[in-house]
Amino acid sequence: MRFLSRMLRHKSVEQLQSEAGQRGDFRRVLGLWQLTAIGIGGIIGVGIFVLAGQQAAMNAGPAVALSFLIAGAGSACAALCYAEFAGLIPVTGSAYTYGYAVLGEFVAWIIGWDLLLEYALVVAVVAIGWSGYVQVLLASAGVHLPEWAQQSMSAQTMHYYLQQLFGVHGGVAIAAPSDGHRFNVIAAGVSLAVALLLTVRMEWGARFNTAIVAIKVLGVLLVIGVGAFYIDTANWHPFIPARVFDAQGTGHFGWAGVLTGASVVFFAVFGYDTLTTAAEEAKHPQRDLPRAVLLSLAVAMVLYIAVSLVLTGITHYSNLNGDASVSQAFEAIGLHWVSIAIAVAAVVGVTSVLFAFMLGAARIWFALARDGLLPAWFAKVSPRFGTPARPTLILGVFTAIVAGLLPIGEVAELVNIGTLSAFIIICTAVLVLRIRKPQLPRSFRMPWIAVLAPLGVAFSLLLIFGLPWPDAHGWQRIGGLPAITFERFVVWMALGCLIYFGYGMRHSRLERDRK
């Protein structure tokens, strides 16, 4: 019983509010628009520049706009929960801190440990994608990197070196690779650069981030403003193409295709949660954090839906299945200058995604260490810069190695299950706290909480496990994550449990306070 009580101990909301007013670990330099820019920077990225076109071509047709609308509605349930918590508990740590206040220490540790990996992997994955855009622009200018420096090594090469290092063959010996040593120099370099930017004064990084988010939004507005004059409404008919099946029996289009598209693009409509990790750096957190969460999601959704309609209006949806679908759509109608402008905006804009998620990872790491669940060495704020320099720089090196070396496509899905797990905890915790302590003063109160919070949980569960759907070829599963994702998630969580029970439980600040 004593063991269980230690796992379930929690900080009261009143205690966290009191600590938030007394702590001076960070300098409060972020206003509403800088917080909103962090949120928009975390949301808008490959969703607009890649996924909108790809999902139109593969699953939803012109109705990809409906896919974004459905995904946005599900994400909005979680966003409203984050907004209520952000105004109530203006403390760094986001979902980790909210879980600590309501569901107890062990659940908080699990979600903090989970998000630490997820945010770091987002940085690595996006850095690799960013590198691809940069190399295209360099090639257009006649600049070509050596082949070994252009991309990460293949999965086969990585598996070969792991066999040589650990002597583990799993029953199958892999032949020596023919592609030689590879290291994605640009991806590693941008990871380190963003870490250094976040290590120096926060206001410098925030100003830089706000500027590049502005460039990204201008690029998106260029797509909408110019593309609107080239829309042929015939391309929107039929708006939801008839259901068809490929040679493997996989269905596309129809309402099932719209829902499949929604399950994919959902992962392009979160990122606002990263701004809540900067709560202790906000000038007026209880007022500005809820506004920034909702404003960033609202702006992103309007842009996503508008771009989806423009893309499928200027060219037939079947032409959009490419890695740079927006640029390709404008090339197809002869607007080369718009295509180049979009590519530049994509390169600049995706940098803000790296900024947002590395900021979130470093702040969660700091919060875990400050609460004693990780060594206190990581919770030292740089006296010169006023930032958590140690976890930030370690994350920079880690993500640079991952982005430079690993076949990151094999682990990218791990990002999704972590985010959805956080959404489930947040939607559950906000409802529990409203029932348990309805009298607490809240600067923002989530409307229709008894309906929207459970909907947020249900939506996240459907995206994790999928939705059965009747088709001409029998029942198919829409959405859902691959089995390998669950296996890797369990391994990471098991490692987290070892760290918590071996170190965190005994060194927790709440444990020390009890003694």
pLDDT at 415: 66
Alpha helices by DSSP H, listed for 200-284, are 202-227, 254-265, 273-276
Residue 453 reports pLDDT greater than 50 = yes
pLDDT confidence of 182, banded at 50, 70, 90? low
pLDDT at position 124: 82
Taking the model in full, what pTM does it have? 0.81
Q: Residue 155 above 50 pLDDT?
A: no
pLDDT at 431: 92
Asked if residue 311 has pLDDT above 60, the reply is: yes
Confidence grade of residue 298 (pLDDT, cut at 50, 70, 90): very high
Write the pLDDT tens digit of every residue in 380-407. Answer: 888 888 888 899 999 999 888 887 776 5
Q: Please tell me the predicted confidence (pLDDT) of residue 322.
A: 64
Mean pLDDT of all residues in 315-343: 78
The model's confidence at residue 150, banded by pLDDT at 50, 70 and 90, is: low
Q: How far apart are CA 272 and CA 41, in angstroms?
A: 8
State how far the Cα of 107 lies from the Cα of 113, in Å rounded to an integer: 10
Average confidence (pLDDT) over 431-450 = 89
* CA-based nearest residue to 77, from 441, 413, 442, 462: 462
pLDDT reported for residue 148: 53
Looking at CATH, the fold of the domain delimited by 2-514 is given as: Amino acid/polyamine transporter I (1.20.1740)
Q: How far apart are CA 421 and CA 485, in angstroms?
A: 13
HSE-up of residue 11 (Cα within 13 Å, Cβ side): 24
pLDDT of residue 184: 78
Q: What is the mean pLDDT of residues 467-483?
A: 67
Kindly report which listed range (63-77, 103-117, 404-418) carries the lowest average pLDDT score. Answer: 404-418
pLDDT at 454 exceeding the cut of 90: yes
Q: pLDDT confidence of 212, banded at 50, 70, 90?
A: confident
**pLDDT exceeds cutoff 70 at 503:** yes
Q: What is the pLDDT of residue 236?
A: 92
What pLDDT was estimated at residue 202? 75
pLDDT band, very low/low/confident/very high, at 475 (cuts 50, 70, 90): low
Asked if pLDDT for residue 487 goes beyond 60, the answer is: yes
Q: Which residue has the higher pLDDT, 449 or 271?
A: 449
* Structure token pair of residue 462: 């459907």
The domain spans of the chain are 2-514
Please tell me the least confidently modeled range out of 244-248, 262-266, 356-360, 373-377: 244-248
Rounded to the nearest integer, the mean pLDDT of the chain is 80
Percentage above 90 pLDDT, the chain: 15
Is the pLDDT higher at 1 or at 79?
79
Res 368: pLDDT: 92
Residue 123 in contact with residue 395, Cβ under 8 Å? Answer: yes
Is residue 171's pLDDT more than 50?
Answer: no
* Contact call for residues 418 and 490 (beta carbons, < 8 A): no
Q: How does pLDDT run across 32-70, given as a tens digit for each residue?
A: 888 998 888 888 876 777 778 888 888 888 999 998 998
Residue 172 has pLDDT above 60, yes or no: no
Lowest-confidence pick of 42-56, 148-162, 237-251, 445-459:
148-162
User: Percentage of the chain surpassing pLDDT 70?
Assistant: 82
